[in-house]
Amino acid sequence: MNLRLDEARGLLIGARQVPSPNQDDRPPGTEISLLVLHGISLPPGEFGGPFIDHLFTNSLDPQAHPYFREIGELRVSSHLLIRRDGEVVQYVPFHRRAWHAGASCHRGREACNDFSIGIELEGTDTTPYAEAQYRVLDTLLPLLRSAYPAIGPQDVVGHCHIAPARKTDPGPAFDWARLGRTDLA
């Protein structure tokens, strides 16, 4: 996997770029200090297809699937998506705020979007994630932690850890031990 960071532009070179309008400036002086892993599939339980791109670019057709009528008005994004085959898609530059965490709290700090990078993994809470996705994470996490040294080992968490009352992803199917996080396994 040939990924590298263009820190000046906040871009991951080697990722397919699909700019999302669902982003804004981080609060002034904010240091990126959290990495949040998510799980997503659209429609639920189905992989592949253009629908995640459509969701993050506000172009999801509510007639394409009954579930899309429920989520079609959402304005959400993530910095990255790692598809099951290992393809990486970037929607928001790292220095910008993506809208992925919602109401959230990490180690006493609320509004995690302000200081986090969001990474979506194509999957579900109950379907094991693909080996290709873990290989990408093995490359990507050291790159991001080197560029953003305030992200410590304890600051790589799931959506379920920062919003436990309302989120379960990436779910029990995610192998936290692969990331050296036996405390989250």
Cα gap 40→8, rounded to integer Å? 29
Supply the residues annotated as catalytic: 120
User: pLDDT tens across 37-63, in order?
Assistant: 999 999 999 999 999 999 999 999 999
Give residue 145's pLDDT.
Answer: 96
pTM for the full model?
A: 0.97
Give residue 84's pLDDT.
Answer: 98
Residues of the chain with pLDDT under 70: 1, 185
Cα gap 156→19, rounded to integer Å? 24
Cα gap 11→90, rounded to integer Å? 8
Buried b (16+ CB within 10 A) or exposed e, 16-29: eebebebbeebeee
Cα gap 23→4, rounded to integer Å? 22
Nearest Cα to 79, choosing from 56, 103, 48?
Answer: 56
Instruction: Give me the helices (H) in the chain, please.
Output: 51-56, 66-71, 131-147, 159-162
Q: What domains are there in the chain, each with its CATH number? A: 4-47+78-179 (3.40.80.10)
Give residue 171's pLDDT.
Answer: 97
Give residue 39's pLDDT.
Answer: 98
Give residue 180's pLDDT.
Answer: 86
Give residue 5's pLDDT.
Answer: 96
